[in-house]
A and B are shown apart, each in its own frame.
Chain A
Amino acid sequence: MQVSGYKILISILLVAGLSIAGFRRQGPEPLRIDYPAYFGNRTFVPDDNPTTVEGVALGRRLFYEKKLSASQQISCGTCHRQELAFTDGKAFSTGVDGSPQPRNTMSLVNLLWVRNFFWDGRVAGLEMQAAVPLTNAHEMGQSLEVSAALLSKEVVYRSLFSKAFGTDSLTGEGIVKALSQFERTLVSADAPYDRYLRGDYQPTAAELNGISLFYGNPDAARNIRGAGCAHCHGGPKTYIELYHNNGLDTIPADSGREKVSGQSYDRGRFRVVSLRNIALTAPYMHDGRFKTLEEVLSHYNEHIKPSKTLSPFLQGVGNSNASDGLTLGLTDREKKDLLAFLHILTDSTFITDKRFSDPFR
């Protein structure tokens, strides 16, 4: 009996020991990011930075960590506030040195489907993007090495990094990788428009007409009304990775993508943004010149400025409801209906989701 009991005890210890060893060997747990099938699977996750439960948990904390800025006063979340769909309501955010940014802070939404970042698409991949505001002297202004050294002093970060990356060394590379993992989980897919796509919401007559105008191309000769928005903002994500000159200026103060490509045909071209949560992300355009969505619609309807690089989809008879083809030619009623559609892209689940909120609060 004694021998048998001893054997059982040894067996239990062995199994427990192996289980612990097995568990430890597994490392971080892969995280599946949920999104609707209608978003499609053309997602971008680098092979060397898979999304994990532990990586995202670390990334969330880092996103709201003010020690990552030279002043210790600013975190990513300072300019990317969840309640405003990760914008800050300003035309130009202020960096650690008090200087305004050259362009409007972009919303962070459905980045899993984005390949190139910033208003001019100059950087490939979230990991490369994240390093820029962290280190830019006019933004958070602190090198990744200094940030890593500061965080290394805290037991909590040493533990979180170890869990996320299975290594004891806390590096700048780990900081941007974890931030990127967190940002990839920022999926907005529960707006009334999503519920409509899933068959759970009946839009109002105005919203339905707005949807119809948004996706429809105008054909004045056949009296078919349309706003042609979907050409560039099309599909359930309301996002395609495109760069267009949308007629803000005949001579742009900021030449946009031309600075990246060196090609004159790129003058005044900027990213075509996602319209998800657009009602929350005022002011609008790369320079925040429009304070309201009404002003934006008025721009597209009546105030497109001609230039050599103006988008071909914002000019000409084929893109106009007006018989002269000079403007988009929507009526006031139609503009209101489009606005009603834009408002059902606001996702209250997304902006209150605790998984995305500030863990320091």
Chain B
Amino acid sequence: MNIFRSAIFLGLQLTFVVSAYAQTSPAVKISGEVTKPLTFSVDDLAKMKRSTAVLTDRDGKAHSYQGVALQELLEQAGVTMGKQLRGEQLTKYLMVKCADGYEVLFSLAELDSSFTDRVVILADKLENGPLPDGKGPFRLVVPGEKKPARSSFQVVEMVIRYAKD
């Protein structure tokens, strides 16, 4: 079975990875129920339509973050947003995955401007400067929530799926 052949070669592969890995530039992948799987870097994000969101952080102070609206990113990946977000599509969710293994979930309607005025962004700047160590290069900024627990750090992947239960 392939999985076990893979396992046998895992040691070899890891040795290779350990000895030869180069620092790859950070990127975010959008996958799952998408018609155009998308992977973008910091440079790619800088060229997209920019938005600003204000978040009250754990220090109790409001900070301005700059980045790209999640709706914009999801539309680029061909996710059913806007006029398409109806009926069965309303059972879809977005799972946001972070470098440290942290995961948070949104329903698509929470992120769509035809449902809400709140704009959730994937930020790459804080007050037009770099994000602090441990939080960047991509941080989700979810304004208007009492806890910042969904404004997760170091986003690496966004997966769209149907809830099936």
- B is a partner of A: yes
| Chain A proximity of B17: nearest CB distance (Å) | 7
Query: A residues 166-191 with Cβ under 8 Å of B?
Result: 172-173, 176
Interface range on chain A: under 10, 10 to 19, 20 to 34, or 35 or more? 35 or more
Residues in B neighbouring A241, C-beta threshold 8 A: 101
Known A-B contacts A131-B10, A135-B11; the reply to A263 vs B24 at CB < 8 A is yes
Q: Which of A137, A244, A263 contacts B23 (CB 8 A)?
A: A263
CB-based contact B7/A309 at 8 Å: no
Q: Which of B6, B7, B10, B134 contacts A265 (CB 8 A)?
A: B134
Closest to B14 in A: A122
Alpha-carbon gap, A47 to B122, bound state (A): 35
Query: A residues 258-276 with Cβ under 8 Å of B?
Result: 259-266, 269
CB-based contact A135/B7 at 8 Å: yes
Q: Determine the main DSSP class of B at the interface with A.
A: loop
Known A-B contacts A128-B7, A241-B101, A318-B58; the reply to A262 vs B1 at CB < 8 A is no
Alpha-carbon gap, A306 to B137, bound state (A): 19
CB-based contact B8/A131 at 8 Å: yes
Most chain A C-beta atoms within 10 Å of own C-beta, residue among B7, B10, B24, B26: B7
Q: Which of B11, B21, B26 contacts A259 (CB 8 A)?
A: B21
Residues in B neighbouring A136, C-beta threshold 8 A: 11
B43 on the A face (CB < 8 A): no
A194 on the B face (CB < 8 A): no
CB-based contact A128/B8 at 8 Å: no
Query: A residues 218-270 with Cβ under 8 Å of B?
Result: 240-244, 259-266, 269
A312 on the B face (CB < 8 A): yes
Closest to B21 in A: A262
Residues in A neighbouring B8, C-beta threshold 8 A: 131, 135, 143-144
| Chain A proximity of B163: nearest CB distance (Å) | 14
A-B contacts besides A121-B101, A263-B99, 10 pairs, CB < 8 Å: A131-B4, A136-B11, A242-B101, A243-B100, A244-B100, A260-B17, A262-B23, A263-B23, A265-B154, A309-B134
| Interface residues of A, Cβ cutoff 8 Å to B | 116, 121-123, 127-128, 131-132, 135-137, 143-144, 172-173, 176, 240-244, 259-266, 269, 308-312, 316-318
| Interface residues of B, Cβ cutoff 8 Å to A | 1, 3-4, 6-8, 10-11, 14, 17-18, 21-24, 26, 58-59, 99-102, 133-137, 153-154
Q: Name 27 A/B residue pairs within 8 A (Cβ), A-sorted.
A: A127-B3, A127-B7, A128-B3, A128-B6, A128-B7, A131-B4, A131-B7, A131-B8, A131-B10, A135-B11, A172-B4, A176-B4, A241-B101, A242-B100, A242-B101, A243-B101, A259-B18, A259-B21, A261-B99, A262-B24, A263-B26, A263-B99, A308-B133, A308-B134, A309-B133, A310-B134, A312-B134
